[in-house]
Amino acid sequence: MNPAMVKKLQQMQKDMMKAQKELEASIFYGTAGGSAVQVEFNGAKEMQNITIEKDAFDLPEDLDMLQDTILAAVNDCMKKIDEETRETMGQFSQGMPGMF
């Protein structure tokens, strides 16, 4: 393989690793129920925090609604993480079929 190409690939690998670490350290937020439930995840998809407005739900009657709202907030946040990951890491796969 061409030495210049090897060097270019090695630099791309370093850049990809740096971008991945930055993504994992980033904080993402998801909300549902008009912000009645807010979740916070890092880019590694680890939950960091959850906030539930205490007046938004009348427990135990609204337990099912609370559970559904939490799921919606988590799914909202996961979608944001996936979109940011595709956008960030996609720059490395341009012209390389089958990546990301």
Q: If you average pLDDT over residues 18-42, what whole number do you get?
A: 96
C-alpha radius of gyration, the chain, whole number: 19
Q: Which amino acid is at 78?
A: M
Alpha-carbon distances, residue 35 vs 39, 50, 62 (angstroms): 10, 11, 16
Listed in sequence order, the residues at least 6 apart from 70 whose beta carbon sits closer than 8 Å to its beta carbon are 32, 37, 39, 50, 52
pLDDT bracket for residue 98 (50, 70, 90): low
18-87: CATH homologous superfamily?
Answer: Nucleoid-associated protein YbaB-like domain (3.30.1310.10)
Q: Confirm whether pTM is higher than 0.95.
A: no
pLDDT (0 to 100) of residue 59:
87
Main-chain phi, psi angles of 36, to 5 degrees: -65, -30
- What pLDDT is stored for residue 100 in this prediction? 47
- The candidate with the shortest Cα–Cα distance to 36, out of 12, 57, 16, is 57
What are the residue boundaries of the structural domains of the chain, listed by start? Answer: 18-87
Work out the angle at residue 98's Cα, subtended by the Cα atoms of residues 89 and 86, and round it to the nearest 5 degrees.
25
Residue 99 pLDDT greater than 90, yes or no: no
